[in-house]
Structure 1
Amino acid sequence: MSMVYEQEARAAQAARAEQRRLDAAAAEQRRADRQRAADERAARLREQQRADQAADRAARAARREERALRRAEALSPERVYHRGTLALVAASGAGSLPAQIAHFVAISPVLLPLPLVVEGAAWVMAAGVAYADARGLPGWVRWVLRGAVVVCATFAAVINYQYGAHLPGLTASERVTAGWGLAAVTLLGPTVFEVRQWVATLAAATPDPDARARRRHARLRRQHHKSVARTADRLLSAAPFGSLSAEEAWERAWSIETGADSPGMTPDLHRRAVKSAARLREAQSPDPTPSANAEESPQGGVDRSPSELEESPDHPTVLAPDLSAAPVLAVEAVPTAVVEPTSDAQSPDSTPAVLPVGVVAAESARTRRATGRVPQSARTRRLQRTPDQLLAEAREATADWSADRLTADAIRQAVRTSAERARGLRDVLRAERAPAGEVVA
């Protein structure tokens, strides 16, 4: 019985201990939740504070920038000039008008309106100049108003000078100084106001940067093409107002005067353009007249090696008949032949020599650069040798040569001819020296 009681007591104690542990864990969890909530509130507050501070800084920067802009706008040269002019005008009126009032009132109180009329007339005329500028009235209107301003301001200056020169209680020099000072103040206001209006008019009439270039272009165009300008003016005056632009009138006038569709072109310029194009085509085309030394220096005749001159693979080798007995029959034995033109120095009765293709190759046309024609007096006149003459000279020059020495380069140097003809002469001479019935390789 006691044992059961002890077990139950221990179980109850363990349960109480477990409950205390759970209660402590729950309390700790609640404390942690409260701390986390407090931290989050503090973080939100700090973030809101930083945002508020950033907004305040941005607002202060915006206000500073706005103040700077207003200050810059207020202190711009245009504002300073306009406001400074108005301040000088106000100071001039404040200095000159009381002196005039005192001067006329000292004479008689009835003369009190006179200074207002004299001083006001100058300012009314100055305002009239500004109105004339704004309305774009003729220049003589402005100058009449300016003359009225000068007359009224000068009359007021004379009155103020007399008043300052007779002020009581001053020395003579002080009176002169006071008189000139009042006169200068009286003239200063209208003068400054008129200068301000003149500067404002010039600033408003200042054109864009290209206006001067356009005016110069129009002046030069009318100066260089006076007849076209007169016709264009007549077209503009004849057309209804605004229906024809100046450029359209100029294009029509140019077409009427010159016949050309594009402004700037004239019949003379078209003729010059055609002649220039013909000269350009003539300079770019090859010279149809071969050079006088074409026989002696054909294309590729100098830079070829002796072995290339000796082989000549581009010309077929044919069986050569016995040319010593019947040289004319050798020409008839070849079906295809090349006719070589003779020079102007030969007689009119001479006929072109017909050569076998296998014996003498046709000379290829050499393309020349467009360097212009050589004058006839500067050309070297040389007689061109016929194929028979070349063959005879080659036989005579190589009569004592061996068969191994019969190369195209050696024959070319001996008879001073082209490489192609030298190869043909080589083939003929080898065929002549070959035994009968043997094919020349």
Structure 2
Amino acid sequence: MSTYSEERRADRAADAEQRRIDQAAAAVRRAERERAADDRAARLREQQRAEKRQARQARAESRTARRAARGASLTAGNVYRKGTLGLVTASALGSLPAQILHFVDISPMLLPLPLAIEGAAWVMAAGVAYADERGLPGWVRWFLRSLVIGAAGFAASINYTYGTHLSDLSPSEAHTAGIGLAAVTLLGPLLFEVRQWVTTLSAKTGSAQDKARRKHDRTRRRQHRSIAIVADRLVSAAPFGELPFEEAFAHAWEIETGTTTPGMTPKLHRRAARSVAALTEAQHPERVQYRRAGWLRRRRPIEATPTPVPVDTSTNRSTADLRKSTRPILPVSLPVPVVIDLPKPLKPSAVRTAAAASPRPRSVTGRVPDIARSRRPARTADQLLDEARSATADWPDRDLTAEGIRKAVHTSPAKARALRETLRAERTTAPDEAAA
């Protein structure tokens, strides 16, 4: 009986333990599901935040782009160009109906006339712009302008007549209407011509860099006129587009001043050398004193004993006329000359100078002209061969070389090689003929 009870208790305990284990596993699974759900929710929230952030960034970029586009479109140049075109359009719309009504009242068949008159004015104005773009002569532009003025003036007179003859207006109002229609007719071509003039001047002026470059060119031509003239001649002498002006100016500077450094001249090189010497003397005065003392000692010997010098007390002669010093010469012990390492001066450019007259003869330092040379009579090939035979008659075969023959007969290396081959051939054929 006790055994059965114990087994029942053990079974109940095992069931309880199993339930506890199952509950713990269920709790773990529930916690994992909740954690997974929380992770999914966090990821979803992060994705939503990222999408919102991207949308805000896209909207900000779009606003920035629109702002930049508005700023680019609202510049002074764009406002002027587009505003001028708007005023021109308004002028055409204001002047054309009055002309149409005027000619239609006369006859419906005259309807094309206002279109032709107004169109002629605008086509000629466009022709002025085209002439400016192509760089045509000035008389072409002024001829087109005269046509524009003629067509616009005729249209203005028609509109003025039409405005002053309006029946439902008072005389003062009709006069005002006529003046307004005539003014608006002339305003369009006038504004278009002013716009074209401003555009042409802006294209010629260019940017700030272009202005600075033109100013530099004017200053350089003004300060270096002779060099600019030589550079222009070099450019005009070369084929078109082959020689840039900057290269021509550098070459002209070297021709005129003898140096390739821009801005430097022989005078400036001398000033630079004097400045270097003055700086050295200021930095090392004792070295310069030693150098001068050594130079004086080499140039003039100094006596060991003082020499009395009589003092001239005459009031009618000055010391400059006497060419003597009023102070006695005292013995001076000069130090030993010291070699001074002066800083390296600027290297002067090579300047061609004429040789000074010298009493002593000078050897030739350059190439002697052909006319001053003593010409040696030219020898023929047979004469050279005879001389080579006589000079190399007792030479062994191993000494028969082109260099030896050249030195023996005093000829060129090419002729010496030809003589060598001829003599070797003769020495080779001579034993064969003797054996035969």
TM-score by length of 2: 0.61
Q: Percent identity?
A: 56
Distance, in Å, in 1 between the alignment partners of 2:196 and 2:110 is: 32
Counterpart of 2:65? 66
- Higher percent of residues as helix: 2
- Give the Å deviation of 1:126: 0.6
Aligned to 1:381: 327
Pair 1:272–1:28, CA change in 2 (3 A): closer
CA distance in 2 between partners of 1:275 and 1:65 (Å): 61
Give the Cα–Cα distance (whole angstroms) in 1 for the partners of residues 330 and 211 of structure 2.
Answer: 73
- 1:181 aligned residue: 180
Equivalent residue, structure 1, for 2:212: 210
**Relative to 1, partners in 2 of residues 1:177 and 1:344: Cα closer, same or farther, differing over 3 Å?**
farther
Q: Which residue of 2 aligns with 1:397?
A: none
Query: Cα distance, 1:109 vs. partner?
Result: 2.0
How far did 1:277 drift?
Answer: 7.6
Say if 2:253 and 2:259, in contact at 8 Å, map to a contact too.
yes
Once the two structures are TM-superposed, the CA of residue 121 in structure 1 deviates from its matched residue by 0.9
Q: Aligned residue for 1:81?
A: 80
Deviation readout 1:168-227 (Å, 9 max, x if unpaired): 1111110111001001110111111111111211222223132332332243146x42xx
Counterpart amino acid of residue 125 in structure 2: A
d(CA) in 1 for partners of 2:190, 2:244:
43
Match of 1:96 in 2: 95
Work out which of the two has the higher radius of gyration on C-alpha atoms and give 1 or 2: 1
**Cα distance, 1:246–1:119 mapped onto 2, change above 3 Å:** same
Kindly provide the CA deviation profile for residues 209-253 of structure 1, in whole angstroms up to 9, marking residues without a partner as x.
Answer: 32332332243146x42xx55555444443333333434444555
Please report how far the alpha carbon of residue 50 of structure 1 lies from its aligned counterpart in structure 2 after TM superposition.
Answer: 0.9
Counterpart AA for 1:157: A
What aligned pairs does 1:255-404 form with structure 2 within 5 A after superposition?
269=267, 285-286=288-289, 340-343=304-307, 345=309, 381-382=327-328
CA distance in 2 between partners of 1:252 and 1:379 (Å) = 55
1:46 equivalent in structure 2: 45
Q: How many Å apart are 1:71 and its aligned residue?
A: 2.1
Q: CA deviation at 1:150?
A: 1.4
Q: Kindly tell me: are residues 156 and 344 of structure 1, through their superposed partners in 2, closer, same or farther at Cα, counting changes over 3 Å?
A: farther
Residues 65 and 275 of structure 1: is their aligned pair in 2 closer, same or farther, counting only changes over 3 Å?
closer
Unaligned stretches of 5+ residues in structure 1: 291-337, 348-375, 387-441
What are the equivalent positions in structure 2 for 1:194-209 lying under 5 Å apart? 194-207=193-206, 208-209=210-211
Aligned equivalents of 2:258, 2:40: Cα separation in 1: 91
Kindly tell me: are residues 214 and 378 of structure 1, through their superposed partners in 2, closer, same or farther at Cα, counting changes over 3 Å? farther
Greater Cα offset, 137-146 or 161-170: 137-146
| Offset from partner CA, 1:296-334 (integer Å, 9 cap, x none) | xxxxxxxxxxxxxxxxxxxxxxxxxxxxxxxxxxxxxxx
Aligned residues: 306
Q: C-alpha displacement at 1:14, in angstroms?
A: 1.1
- 2-structure distance, mates of 1:53, 1:125: 58
Query: In structure 2, how many angstroms separate the alpha carbons of the residues matched to 1:244 and 1:69?
Result: 43
Which amino acid in the other structure matches residue 18 of structure 1? Answer: E
User: For the structure 1 residues 239 and 75, does the alpha-carbon distance in structure 2 shift closer, same or farther, using more than 3 Å as the test?
Assistant: closer
TM-score, normalised to structure 1, is: 0.60
Q: Give the whole-Å Cα distance in 2 for the aligned partners of 1:13 and 1:265.
A: 116
The AA in structure 1 aligned to 2:304 is E
Whole-angstrom distance in 2 between the partners of 1:345 and 1:74? 97
1:10–1:236 Cα change, 3 Å: closer
Equivalent residue runs for 1:46-195 within 5 Å: 46-195=45-194
The one-letter code matched in structure 1 to 2:327 is R
Residues 16-31 of structure 1 correspond to what in structure 2 (within 5 A)?
A: 16-31=15-30
Inter-partner Cα distance in structure 2 for 1:69 and 1:262: 47
Q: Which residue is equivalent to 1:437?
A: none
Higher relative contact order (CA 8 A, sep 6+): 1
Aligned letter for 2:306? T
Alpha-carbon distance in 1 for matches of 2:243, 2:117: 53
Call closer, same or farther: CA 1:212–1:235 in 2, change over 3 Å. closer
Deviations 1:153-179 (A, max 9, x none): 111111111110111111111011100
How far did residue 80 of structure 1 move? 1.9
SS in 1 for 2:167: coil
Q: Secondary structure at the match of 2:289?
A: coil
Q: Distance in 1 between matches of 2:2 and 2:230?
A: 142
- Answer whether contact 2:221 2:228 (CA < 8 A) is retained: no
Deviations 1:387-410 (A, max 9, x none): xxxxxxxxxxxxxxxxxxxxxxxx
String of CA shifts for 1:331-354, please: whole Å, max 9, x gaps: xxxxxxx9834145289xxxxxxx
Q: 1:8 to 1:241 in 2, by over 3 A?
A: closer
Letter in structure 2 aligned against 1:345: V
Q: Give the deviation of 1:20 after TM superposition.
A: 1.6
SS of alignment partner, residue 205 of structure 2? coil
Q: CA offset at residue 96 of structure 1?
A: 0.3
Letter aligned with residue 309 of structure 2: A
The CA deviation at 1:102 is 0.8
Distance 1:187 1:86 in 2: 14
1-structure distance, mates of 2:49, 2:277: 84
Query: 2:150 corresponds to which letter in structure 1?
Result: V
Amino acid of the residue matched to residue 240 of structure 1?
P
